[in-house]
């Protein structure tokens, strides 16, 4: 069994009706794999939908979160991992956005594979398992 979390860009594709991604998501669920919603992507998606007052997509997103995903928290351990990732990336001159650092830290702490279309940034985080469904 595999445990996954979806990057914000993958969640956006699903909300925009990308059938390829949605089909892959359903296949993973049918295989018995677990899908987690990381708190950063949850925040980024929800704030964006509320900012543009997209009630239909917000309802769809909330339904997905309630029916498909397991929630994970920003624990002290996740925060400490994020600090370590930040320091490493900063010192190596490969710094990425804080949101991506937090997503990577969540994945490492909870042993999740990240589904993303942003391999360029996430490959900078050592030991992070990533897959691109695009």
Check the CA dihedral 63-66-67-73 and report its sign.
Answer: positive
Q: Which residues are CB-neighbours of 31 under 8 A, at least 6 positions away?
A: 1, 2
Q: What is the CA radius of gyration of the chain?
A: 15
CA angle 66, 67, 71 (to 5 degrees): 50
| Per CATH, domain 3-131 is 3.40.50.720 | no
Report the pLDDT value the prediction gives residue 1, as an integer from 0 to 100.
74
Report the pLDDT value the prediction gives residue 43, as an integer from 0 to 100.
97
Report the pLDDT value the prediction gives residue 16, as an integer from 0 to 100.
93
Instruction: Answer yes or no: are the C-beta atoms of 20 and 125 closer than 8 Å.
Output: no
Task: For the chain, list residues with pLDDT below 50.
Answer: none
Report the pLDDT value the prediction gives residue 83, as an integer from 0 to 100.
98
Report the pLDDT value the prediction gives residue 36, as an integer from 0 to 100.
94
Tell me 131's DSSP state.
Answer: E
């Amino acid at each position: 069994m595999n445990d996954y979390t979806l990057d914000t860009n993958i969640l956006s594709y699903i909300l925009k009706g990308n059938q390829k991604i949605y089909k892959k998501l359903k296949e993973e669920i049918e295989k018995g794999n677990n899908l987690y919603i990381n708190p950063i992507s949850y925040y980024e998606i929800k704030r964006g939908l509320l900012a543009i007052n997209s009630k239909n997509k917000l309802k769809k997103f909330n339904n997905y979160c309630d029916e498909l995903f397991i929630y994970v928290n920003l624990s002290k351990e996740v925060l400490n991992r994020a600090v370590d990732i930040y320091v490493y990336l900063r010192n190596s001159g490969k710094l990425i956005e804080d949101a991506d650092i937090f997503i990577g830290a969540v994945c490492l702490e909870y042993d999740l594979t990240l589904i993303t279309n942003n391999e360029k940034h996430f490959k900078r985080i050592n030991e992070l398992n990533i897959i691109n469904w695009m």
